[in-house]
Amino acid sequence: MSGGSMSRTIQILPDAVANQIAAGEVVERPASVAKELVENAVDARAERIEVRIERGGKRSIRVADDGVGMSREDALLSLDRHATSKIRKAEDLRGVRSFGFRGEALPSIASVSRLAIETRRRADPVGTRISVRGGTVLDVRDHPRNPGTTILVENLFFNAPARSKFLRAPGVESRAVSEALIPIALANPALELILLSDDRPLLELPASPGLGGRVAAIWGVEAASGLIATDHEVDGIRVQGLIQRPDATRPGFRRSQLFVAGRPFRDPGLLSAAGRGYRTTIPADHRPWIFLFLSVPDGSVDVNVHPTKAEVRFDRRERMERVVEEAVRNALEGLASSATFDAPRPPPEMRVREQTKPPPEAADTESQMALFLASGSAPHDTPGEAAAIPADTADGPRAGPPERGYSGSGEGGAGGADTELLPTDLELRPRLWQVHRAWIMAEVRDGLLLIDQHAAHERVLFERIMAGFDREGAEAQRLLFPLTIRLPTSEVEMVEDLKGLLQQAGFEVEFFGGDTVILHAVPNPHPYFDAEKCFREMIEELTNGSELVRSARNQHERVAMSFACKAAIKAGQELSAREIQELFDQLFATQLPYHDVHGRPTTVRLSRAELERKFGR
């Protein structure tokens, strides 16, 4: 290089300019300011926070708390870049357990506004007031006030007109402030939080003992009643929170929020994992509400990868997603196992008595006679009319829901249960009817339970096949005359790819060359099963795809879902009393009895109060 004089082109920015650049990352709009200030108040152990905004926060944002307050020295230091009470050395960055390192926030806000801080510690006789304009401290003085801190931000972006012109209408900005504060309120249900917009209350959230109460205060009691708790821990990762019951989900927009170390954060991947926990329990277009708090071992999460702390980074990402999915699935299975039906107890003269098993040739006739004797009515002449079915029509006792609900294991649910019944179990089984050859109606203590026979059988078959994959395969029936089936080339290739799974599902397939396959054995899910039709429809769906099979997690689920959908008994199929009872028993021995593989409901409950209301009582 020549030794001549050189002009320096790289300059150190003044603090005021550096703060305004930092403000571009942290301070996007009034909602960003309110969020940062409220988070600081939470870190100050506030029990009550009041936020007041004018004109959507463009004119002013005032955040008052009853937290620990600051000394004059700390208040002045909080306006310096990279000032924080949480970090002393580099290693502390990964150990921050509150809202993380946000040493940019207050000086960044002060650099683009007129800002005033009023604060006092309980031990101090008097507080402090600091006035700042555009990042420059104008005045510091004593100020009498109660313990806590109040920060007033006025004329946001007064010195950055290019930023100011992109702000939306006051109403839009006000709603954005509300949405920004809701995750903080959910993370801290014991906090009282008030938000006023031009003196009009937008949020009035009293302190609540738990998350459910907070949800009720924000979105209403009905929304909160549709949530169930989950608590699941694996390898030091704990997932707690509330998720929506499948029957309460709706299409479209959903409320969902994740938290770690008490901080709200965004993570589409973890929310997708939670959504996978709902597989086969909700329709594809339904979006469940999900509020999950994650606890992880120290050092396994980095909370400082985003300027606004909206994102975090986890070690062993796949394990995190798996635990979140399991937490949701376990809660839904627990919901199913805690179901109660409370069948009405028969009067003394109607209680079930032990009976001898009738000879096979008389069984059906005797069962049909019992239908009407139990209800005191004459036989119906028209097939498909409602027929009452008592609990003792099956050949010998079979397992049904006991008094406080019935939950079979995956294996028990797959093949029916062999549990020995006590006399009280028989007494408490609900009476059953088939209605219009499509639904099963059960009389329960608080009303009526309607069951879709096709959807119910779908659930039973799906879990039976999935359980078979974990064992030696499903039961199959060998055919005296094998079925010869011709298929398009693409479907023959699919059969070749899935031969092992199809055999585990009960289809024993032989390739006969070209476009022909031979079925030597098939499943036997019910007496009305059309094996060839089911096989053709399954292979076509698995080859061409459908919304159902695309929702599956793997090939095992795809085969099981498709088989369950095609093989289940259909609406219009008349069932015997024994078949109705067996289907009822098998449904409520599954892990998730309330939804078919499409996520549609298998049951609808009509309470006694609803029935009385319909009849004007």
Which tens digit of pLDDT belongs to each residue from 519-571?
A: 999 988 888 889 999 999 999 999 998 888 888 888 899 999 999 999 999 99
Q: Which residues touch 414 (CB under 8 Å, ≥6 apart)?
A: 460, 463, 464, 465, 466, 467, 468, 590
Between residues 19 and 253, the one the model is more confident about? 253
Judge contact between 568 and 458, C-beta under 8 A. yes
Instruction: Tell me the backbone φ, ψ of residue 336, rounded to 5 degrees.
Output: -65, -40
List, for residues 315-332, the tens digit of each pLDDT value: 888 899 999 999 999 999
Instruction: Tell me the backbone φ, ψ of residue 236, rounded to 5 degrees.
Output: 80, -5
Is residue 35 pLDDT above 90, yes or no? yes
CA distance 256 to 243: 9
CA distance 110 to 334: 51
* 120: β partners: 148
Class of domain 226-301+314-336: alpha beta
Helix axes 360-375, 577-587, angle to 10 degrees: 80
- How, if at all, do strands 313-314 and 301-302 pair? antiparallel
Judge contact between 44 and 117, C-beta under 8 A. no
Is residue 357 pLDDT above 50, yes or no? no
pLDDT of residue 140: 97
CATH number of 476-522+529-567: 3.30.1370.100
Mean pLDDT of the chain: 80
- What type of residue is 121? R
Between residues 184 and 443, the one the model is more confident about? 184
Rg (CA), the chain: 33
Assign a CATH topology to domain 363-456+574-614.
formyl-coa transferase, domain 3 (3.30.1540)
- Give the chain's largest Cα–Cα span: 116
pLDDT of residue 550: 86
- Return the residue matching tokens 């394990």: 319
- How, if at all, do strands 516-522 and 477-486 pair? antiparallel
Q: Is the dihedral of CA 334, 336, 337, 338 positive or negative?
A: positive
CATH number of 15-211: 3.30.565.10
Between residues 552 and 117, the one the model is more confident about? 117
List, for residues 60-96, the tens digit of each pLDDT value: 999 999 999 999 999 999 998 654 544 444 454 444 4
- How, if at all, do strands 313-314 and 114-120 pair? unpaired
117-131, 334-348, 417-431, 534-548: which is most confident: 117-131
CA distance 101 to 90: 11
* 292: β partners: 241, 258
Q: Grade residue 208 by pLDDT with cuts at 50, 70 and 90.
A: very high
Q: What angle do CA 555, 559, 562 make, to 5 degrees?
A: 135
- Report domain extents, the chain: 15-211, 226-301+314-336, 363-456+574-614, 476-522+529-567
CA distance 34 to 28: 11
**Three-state helix/strand/coil letters over 118-178:** EEECCCCCCEEEEEEECCEEEEEEEECCCCEEEEEEECCCCCCHHHHCCCCCHHHHHHHHH
Give the mean pLDDT of 428-433.
80
CA distance 460 to 560: 11
pLDDT of residue 406: 28
Between residues 5 and 454, the one the model is more confident about? 454
Copy the structure tokens of residue 365: 């006739």
DSSP character at residue 420: P
Q: Grade residue 422 by pLDDT with cuts at 50, 70 and 90.
A: very low
CA distance 340 to 142: 65
Strand ranges (DSSP E) for 353-507? 387-389, 432-435, 439-444, 447-452, 477-486
